[in-house]
């Protein structure tokens, strides 16, 4: 039984959700038909070797993604009577209302979000490696990247995939190969 | 990799088709480049953000263009499906892909995805829980459960042949754990 998390809330939120996930695994009576208990992180991904391209195009894509999240929040509850929101959805409702009415003063701009480098895997290969290692340290075992971000062109997506294949994935493969046998089998 | 099949405006008659076919080129390349899995979301009635209302069909096409990369649905929207249908479709996809399927389950936080299918927000937790309980059993037991579940699952039929004994890997979206928050 695995867990799929989203990186948009940043590492603190993922850490919080992973604690719930682990707690659920401990107490769950449902037996999985699957062989693994992998924890995966889904987030938007864009990679380019030129930091200037990352700064411009990467920021555009992050901005589009964030704005679409806001649009989702505007649409979700549009025709819904707020007095009938079930208790276990009221957290979502409050979150979406706030998101829909944003951006709020003090919230980071898309450029700041990208520069911060903790919510989206957007950057040079070295920056993408740092991003993944940040979540690897929290126990994330699989990175699930949305590279076909709305406005990203086919060639841009292929370029990101190429850079991951040439630089990012080999970094983690080499790291895995260096791990002591005892640790790998633990 | 993760695919929503995002189609930004302005649209042309071929925009949606183009995005899907681009994905069918990108994923085999990603497999060559060392990516180990590709996940497709399931979304309904959310144009621009996701044109991914039949992810298992798209993954069936992917399965014929790849040989190693794992194929995931992240996530099946449990409240709008019957588990017997999902079990059969995922098992078939698993056969087509030679055992590469991962199945995620979720309940969705979006009322507009539920209402057209006759589902209601207040029921999603229970429906998700039933789905999570039942789906692995459909794949692994001779009979579907008949007593402890709702009328959606009352058919006491043999499911093993239906699913050809395939057991795709099963997971749950983190949202599921939020019910404990």
Where does residue B147 rank: exposed (0-12), middle (13-18), buried (19+ CB within 10 A)?
exposed
- The C-alpha R_g of chain A, in whole angstroms, comes to 19
Return d(Cα A95, Cα B39) in angstroms, integer. Answer: 26
Q: What is the ipTM of this complex?
A: 0.91
Q: Give the chain A residue whose CA is nearest to the CA of B22.
A: A154
Residues of A in contact with B2 (CB under 8 A): 42, 144-146
Q: Tokens in use for B37?
A: 């899995």
Q: Give the chain B residue whose CA is nearest to the CA of A90.
A: B109
Q: Are A77 and B111 an interchain contact pair (Cβ–Cβ within 8 Å)?
A: yes
Cα B38 to chain centroid distance, Å, stands at 12
How would you classify residue B143: left for phi > 0, otherwise alpha for psi between -120 and 50, otherwise beta?
beta
Taking the model in full, what pTM does it have? Answer: 0.87
Q: What is the pLDDT of residues A6-64, one digit of tens each?
A: 898 899 999 999 999 888 888 876 554 444 578 889 999 999 999 999 999 999 999 99
Q: Are B49 and A68 an interchain contact pair (Cβ–Cβ within 8 Å)?
A: yes
Q: What is the pLDDT of residues B79-105, one digit of tens each?
A: 999 999 999 999 999 999 999 999 999
Q: Are A21 and B174 an interchain contact pair (Cβ–Cβ within 8 Å)?
A: yes
| pLDDT surpasses 50 at B41 | yes
Q: Are A154 and B121 an interchain contact pair (Cβ–Cβ within 8 Å)?
A: no
Band the pLDDT of A69: cuts 50, 70, 90.
very high
The closest CB to that of B171, out of A1, A92, A166, belongs to: A1
Q: Are B33 and A91 an interchain contact pair (Cβ–Cβ within 8 Å)?
A: no
Q: Where is average pLDDT lowest: A177-186, B3-12, B90-99, B132-141?
A: A177-186
Q: Are B7 and A150 an interchain contact pair (Cβ–Cβ within 8 Å)?
A: yes
Band the pLDDT of B156: cuts 50, 70, 90.
very low
The closest CB to that of B172, out of A1, A71, A144, belongs to: A1
The DSSP letter of residue A109 is P
Mutate one of A28, A34, A86 to test the B interface: name it (highest B CB count within 10 A). Answer: A34
Residues of B in contact with A145 (CB under 8 A): 1-2
Q: What is the pLDDT of residue A11?
A: 95
Q: Are A34 and B112 an interchain contact pair (Cβ–Cβ within 8 Å)?
A: no
φ/ψ (deg, to 5) at A104: -100, 155
Q: How many CB atoms within 10 Å of residue A172?
A: 15
Render B156-174 in DSSP notation, one character per residue.
Answer: --B-TTTTTT---EEEEET
Q: What is the pLDDT of residue B160?
A: 39
When pLDDT is averaged across residues B12-26 and rounded to a whole number, the result is 98
């Amino acid at each position: 039984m695995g867990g799929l998390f989203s990186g948009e809330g940043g590492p603190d939120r993922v850490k919080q959700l992973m604690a719930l996930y682990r707690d659920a695994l401990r107490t769950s009576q449902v037996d999985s038909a699957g062989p693994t208990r992998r924890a995966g992180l889904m987030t938007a991904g864009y990679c380019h070797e030129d930091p200037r391209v990352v700064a411009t195009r990467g920021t555009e894509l992050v901005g589009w993604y964030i704005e679409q999240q806001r649009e989702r929040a505007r649409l979700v509850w549009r025709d819904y009577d707020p007095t009938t929101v079930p208790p276990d959805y009221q957290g979502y409702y409050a979150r979406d209302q706030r998101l829909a009415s944003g951006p709020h003063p003090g919230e980071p701009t898309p450029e700041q979000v990208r520069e911060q480098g903790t919510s989206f895997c957007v950057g040079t290969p070295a920056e993408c490696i740092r991003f993944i290692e940040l979540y690897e340290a929290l126990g994330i075992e699989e990175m699930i990247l949305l590279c076909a971000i709305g406005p990203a062109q086919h060639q841009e997506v292929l370029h990101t995939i190429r850079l991951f294949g040439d630089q990012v994935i080999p970094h983690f493969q080499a790291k895995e190969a260096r791990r002591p046998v005892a640790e790998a089998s633990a | 990799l993760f695919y929503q099949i995002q189609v930004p405006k302005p649209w042309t008659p071929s925009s949606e088709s183009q995005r899907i076919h681009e994905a069918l080129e990108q994923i085999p390349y990603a497999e060559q480049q060392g990516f180990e899995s590709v996940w497709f979301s399931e979304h309904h009635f959310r144009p621009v953000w996701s044109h991914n209302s039949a992810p298992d069909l798209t993954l069936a096409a992917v399965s014929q263009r790849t040989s190693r990369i794992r194929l995931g649905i992240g996530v099946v929207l449990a409240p709008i499906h019957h588990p017997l249908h999902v079990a059969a479709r995922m098992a078939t996809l698993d056969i087509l892909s030679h055992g590469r399927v991962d199945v995620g389950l979720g309940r969705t936080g979006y009322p507009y995805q539920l209402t057209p299918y006759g589902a209601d927000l207040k029921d999603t937790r229970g429906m998700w829980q039933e789905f999570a309980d039942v789906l692995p059993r459909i794949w692994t037991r001779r009979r579907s459960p008949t007593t402890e579940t709702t009328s959606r699952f009352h058919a006491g039929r043999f499911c093993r042949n239906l699913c050809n004994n395939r057991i795709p890997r099963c997971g749950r979206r983190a949202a599921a754990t939020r019910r404990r928050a």
